[in-house]
Amino acid sequence: MLVLVAPGQGAQTPGFLTPWLELPGAADRVAAWSDAIGLDLAHYGTKADADEIRDTAVAQPLLVAAGLLSAAALGDISPGAVAGHSVGEITAAAFAGVLDDTAALTLVRKRGLAMAEAAAITETGMSALLGGDPEVSVAHLQKLGLTPANVNGAGQIVAAGTLEQLAALNEDKPEGVRKVVPLKVAGAFHTHHMAPAVDKLAAAAEALTPADPKITYVSNKDGQTVATGAEIVERLVGQVANPVRWDLCMETFQKLGVTALLEVCPGGTLTGLAKRALPGVQTLALKTPDDLDAARELIAEHA
């Protein structure tokens, strides 16, 4: 059983879209998406530097576009389930047929702008904790006033809060944590700091006409499968200010009988977690079009 997954913010790197735009029809598709949302995706995916694509309003549409483009390059596939990490949930909603590509990109453009606006109110950020016991780390974060915004499984937790709180964490790590690594994001996502973005996203979601998923959709909120398009959109809105429970998503993959996990571009983060948390499951990350043949072989064997 194949699970198709889409990464979240922080996975982007300068120029990562360049080789994908060389595929037949890719540049035209991205140009049409860019016109639809008023953002030059090709420029940001090929020529922009790390700081430019760190901007939440840019990074989020860019990641969804990359996921959709790389999945389209695989042709028609039938995974057993789909999921996405944070903003990758919108990509996954498109994979499941809940939203069409343009609707997904329109929603993520509004999501990115709303979250960037919320992030500008207070200087905030996110840092990954490497090592340590999750229960000990969560208690320590709460003592410092930080939120465990991503509980990613495989022992990885991402803390979110003000820059002062994150600096205090760097000086006072939880017991057993080897390192605290700042992430390439511009805000404390999936925390109360994002509450102002929820209302704006809810208003944007009212314009959508979601379909029910054609593929099993696993939600970040609690790792549960969701059967209706309306509930998926409702969860996409609320998830902006609530922690990502990727650990629970991976537990659900196991219950569903996952044998392979394929991560769309810019892949690597979620396959890395799966290698540690889902032993025996084959994993493959789409980084460049050079990975497509191996991905098709994986699909043929497991989908």
Contact partners, residue 73, CB within 8 Å, separation at least 6: 20, 23, 26, 289, 292
Whether 286 and 66 have beta carbons less than 8 Å apart is answered as no
Structure tokens at 244: 């990502």
Please report, as a single letter, which amino acid is at residue 163.
L
Whether 278 and 261 have beta carbons less than 8 Å apart is answered as yes
Alpha-carbon distance of 166 to 146, in angstroms, equals 8
Write down the H helix ranges in the chain. Answer: 26-37, 41-46, 50-54, 56-72, 88-95, 101-119, 134-143, 163-171, 195-205, 229-238, 246-256, 269-277, 292-302
Task: Give me the catalytic one of 140, 190, 193, 302.
Answer: 190
Please report, as a single letter, which amino acid is at residue 25.
G
Tally of CA atoms within 13 A in the half-sphere of 253 that contains its CB: 33
List strands edge to edge, sheet with 177-182. Answer: 147-153, 156-162, 124-131, 177-182
Query: Among this protein's residues, is 127 annotated catalytic?
Result: no
Q: Any idea what the Cα angle at residue 105 is, between residues 107 and 248, rounded to 5°?
A: 70
Residue with tokens 């997904």: 104
Q: Which residues pair with 164 in a beta bridge?
A: none
Query: Among this protein's residues, is 86 annotated catalytic?
Result: yes
**Helix and strand tally (H, E) in the chain?**
13, 10
Task: Give me the catalytic one of 34, 70, 85, 86.
Answer: 86
Alpha-carbon distance of 209 to 136, in angstroms, equals 43
Catalytic residues: 86, 190
